[in-house]
Amino acid sequence: MKLFSTIKPLKLLAIIILSFDANADEPRFYIPDAPEIGAASYVVMDHNSGQIIASNNENERRSPASLTKLMTSYVVFQRIKEEFISLDDEVKISEKAWKTGGSKSFIEVGNNIKLEILLKGMIIQSGNDASVALAEHVAGSEGTFVLFMNDYAQQLGMLNSRFENSSGLPHEDQYTTAKDIAILSSAMIREFPDLYKWYSEKEFTYNNIKQTNRNKLLWKDSTVDGLKTGWTQRAGYCLVASANRVGMRLISAVLGSENSSVREAETEKLLDYGFRFFETQSIDDVSQEVPVYKSKKSNIRVGVKGSSYLTLPRNQFKYITHTINLDETLIAPIAQGESVGELVLSFNDETLAKFPLIALEEAPEAGFFARIIDTIKLLF
C-alpha cells in the first residue's frame, strides 16, 4: 500500500493526511440494495470489522429458541478457558436434565458423561438435556448458570438480550436480537477457534443414536462452518451462520422465517450479497512518523492500536483518505503504547471511521539544554 503524507505545522494540533493513489479515477459507488429477506429480522455483519452490511429490525427483541445455546456454549467455553472445568470432566446427569423436553441428546439419569460429549450433543444435536446438564455442572444449578449468561451478554454489548434458561425452551422473559446474536457469534469465533470448529460437524452419535446437524448449509456451501438453528412456535425458524470466503468472514442472523427452507435460502442470499459487493481490509499498516519535542528522538512512529479493520464497497479503498489527528504537540517523555490521538478515515470529507492512535515507540526525554532549545522552538 503506497501512501503519501503532508504535515501541517500546527502548534497544538498536528494533522497528517495520508491517502491512496492520488491519480485514481473518480469513485463510483453503485451498490445494489440488499435483497428482500423473508424474515422478521435479520443482519449480515463482517466478523473482523464488526460493521453491519445489511439489516432489518436488527434490534427487535425476539424469542431466541435454540439460538440460546450459543450463549450457553460461550459460558462453558469461558469456564474451560479459566480452567474451572475441563473437557474431560465427568458430568453426572440429574433427573431435571434427563426430563428436559424438546430436542434431545438422549442422555440417561444417573450416568456420568464426559463434558466434551455433552458439548457436542448440545452443539451438533441441539440437545436440551445436554444444555441443562452442562449448566448444572458449571454453576451448580441452571438458575445460577443463567446469571453467568446474562453477565457475559452485557460484557459483550448484547444490550437487548435476556436469558432465563440454558436450552432456549420458551420463556416470556427470554429474548435476543439479530444484532446481539451476531455479536455473540463473532465473539465465540474470535475467542475460541479450537472449540468453535465443532459447529461445522455434520453429525454426532451418542448412545447408538446418530443425529445430523440441523444447519443444512453445512452440506450446501463449503464456506459455511457454523453456527446454529432454532425453532419454536413463537420464535419461528431461525438460523445464524458464518462463512469464510476470499479472506473475509461474514456472520448472518435470520430470525423469524416461515420454515427451514426459507431460513436457509435467505441466509444464502445475505451471505452472497455481502461477499459479492463488499470487502474488508486491515488498517494496521497505516502508520506515520511525527515530530516529537524535548526528546532524544526528533520523530516517533504512531499508528493504530491493536488489530483494526474497515468494511467498504468493493474497489473503494483506493479513494479513502487517512487523517492522523494528534491530541496535541508531542512532548517527551512518551511511552510506547501511549494514546496520542486518533486515525480518521474519510471519503469526500465524510467521516467513515475513527480508530485510537498510539505511539508505536517510546520517546525518552532529552537532556536539559535540548529541552530548553525545543521550548524556544515551540514559542514560534
What was the pLDDT predicted at 26? 57
SS3 assignment for 12-57? CCCEEEEECCCCCCCCCCCCCCCCCCCCCEEEEEECCCCCEEEEEC
Same domain, 110 and 147: yes
d(CA 168, CA 66): 5
Instruction: Look at residues 216, 256, 223 and name the one whose alpha carbon lies nearest to residue 67.
Output: 256
Domain-located, residue 33: no
Q: Does residue 283 contact residue 304 with C-beta atoms inside 8 Å?
A: yes
Same domain, 116 and 235: yes
Residue 25 has pLDDT above 70, yes or no: no
Residue bearing the bigger pLDDT, 283 or 15: 283
Q: What is the mean pLDDT of residues 217-235?
A: 97
pLDDT digits (tens, 9 = 90+) for 119-156: 999 999 999 999 999 999 999 999 999 999 999 999 99
Given pLDDT bands bounded at 50, 70 and 90, which one contains residue 378?
A: confident
pTM beyond 0.85, yes or no: yes
Strand partners, 114: 90
Given pLDDT bands bounded at 50, 70 and 90, which one contains residue 3?
A: very low
CA distances from 225 to 30, 219, 247 (A): 31, 10, 14
Task: Please give the share of the chain, as a percent, with pLDDT higher than 90.
Answer: 79
pLDDT digits (tens, 9 = 90+) for 305-334: 778 899 999 988 888 888 989 988 999 999
Residue bearing the bigger pLDDT, 68 or 19: 68
d(CA 332, CA 293): 6
d(CA 337, CA 241): 36
d(CA 225, CA 277): 21
What was the pLDDT predicted at 371? 85
Domain-located, residue 82: yes
Given pLDDT bands bounded at 50, 70 and 90, which one contains residue 4?
A: very low
Cβ atoms within 10 Å, residue 142: 24
pLDDT digits (tens, 9 = 90+) for 180-189: 999 999 999 9
Q: Mark which of 278, 309, 338 sits at the end of a domain.
A: 278
Q: What is the mean pLDDT of residues 21-30?
A: 55
Q: What is the mean pLDDT of the chain?
A: 91
Q: Mark which of 278, 309, 337 sits at the end of a domain.
A: 278
Same domain, 257 and 173: yes
pLDDT digits (tens, 9 = 90+) for 30-58: 789 999 999 999 999 999 999 999 999 99
d(CA 71, CA 153): 8
Domain of residue 349: give its range: 4-27+283-377
Q: Scanning the structure block, which residue is given the C-alpha cell 468493493?
A: 314
Task: Please give the share of the chain, as a percent, with pLDDT higher than 70.
Answer: 92
Of 9-13, 154-158, 159-163, where does mean pLDDT reach its minimum? 9-13
Same domain, 153 and 117: yes
Catalytic positions: 66, 69, 126
What was the pLDDT predicted at 188? 98
Domain count within the chain: 2
Q: Mark which of 228, 257, 278 sits at the end of a domain.
A: 278
What was the pLDDT predicted at 77? 98
Same domain, 150 and 105: yes
What was the pLDDT predicted at 29? 62
pLDDT digits (tens, 9 = 90+) for 274-285: 999 999 999 887
Q: What is the mean pLDDT of residues 334-348?
A: 91
User: Residue 50's domain is classified under what CATH number?
Assistant: 3.40.710.10
What was the pLDDT predicted at 28? 58
Q: Alpha carbon 237 to chain centroid distance?
A: 23
Domain-located, residue 205: yes
What was the pLDDT predicted at 27? 57
Work out the angle at residue 147's Cα, subtended by the Cα atoms of residues 233 and 161, and round it to the nearest 5 degrees. 45
What was the pLDDT predicted at 176? 98
